[in-house]
A and B are shown apart, each in its own frame.
Chain A
């Protein structure tokens, strides 16, 4: 089984400031890692994912996350946030499965990023 911990329930930050949203996971097997963003009353949108290869992954809107196996972390960062980045961010993990098998996601409790002027 897997578990995900997002220690920060809320992160207030000023516009154009950097931000880091923390995510730690626990698993007895190899995993894939994901960050999702949820805007009010909407479903989740995939922000970025780590499957294999380079431990640093980037999104098209300036976010990046780094997989750190020794620390079992997958923290999300952005060097300069915008008002429009205000949303709920969920870290998720799924077990690596054999080809042809879809694995369920285990989510963290989410971090509310609040960007203000």
Chain B
């Protein structure tokens, strides 16, 4: 089946530093990947749509200069949280899309728990 990995699974960083999270589709190519943020006991909030070879499309209210997204290949997208602050602490989840019949299906990574101290 379609497997998506994320690295790291957990990261703790100090306020003001930057953190990079990788999202990889292991056994398929994904033209489009999505990045979500999930707060405790809350739903997933779409942050941005990442298309291979082009600039990411950010949702309203998401700072593109703070959350840098790079989709350098059909199997890798990265999210860099720049100058992280405690309020950026969250669970970040990516998904990679694959054509399944008439629609695209999203396969989700296991998530990355970011804690900013």
A residues adjacent to B (C-beta < 8 A): 32, 36, 41-46, 49, 51-52, 90, 94, 96-97, 99, 101-110
Contact = CB atoms under 8 A, between A and B. Distances in A.
B111 A102 contact: no
A44 B93 CA distance: 9
A112 to B, nearest CB: 8
Contact of B111 (A41, A96, A108): A41
A76 to B, nearest CB: 16
Contacts of B25: none
B110 interface: yes
B44 A102 contact: no
A103 B104 contact: yes
Contact of B102 (A51, A94, A105): A51
A107 B108 CA distance: 14
A49 B105 CA distance: 10
Interface of B: 4, 6, 31-32, 34, 41-44, 46, 49, 93, 95, 97, 101-111, 113
Contact of A105 (B6, B46, B101): B46
A51 B110 contact: no
A102 B104 contact: yes
Given A102-B32, A108-B43, A96 B106 contact: no
- Interface of chain B, main secondary structure: strand
A32 B34 contact: no
A102 B4 CA distance: 17
B31 A102 contact: yes
A46 B43 contact: no
A41 B42 CA distance: 13
A90 B104 contact: no
Given A44-B95, A44-B108, A109-B42, 14 more contacts: A41-B113, A42-B111, A46-B106, A51-B101, A51-B102, A51-B103, A90-B44, A97-B104, A102-B31, A102-B49, A102-B97, A104-B46, A109-B43, A110-B41
Of the candidates B44, B46, B102, the one having the most CB atoms from chain A within 10 angstroms of its own CB is B44
Contacts of B107: 46
Contacts of B4: 43
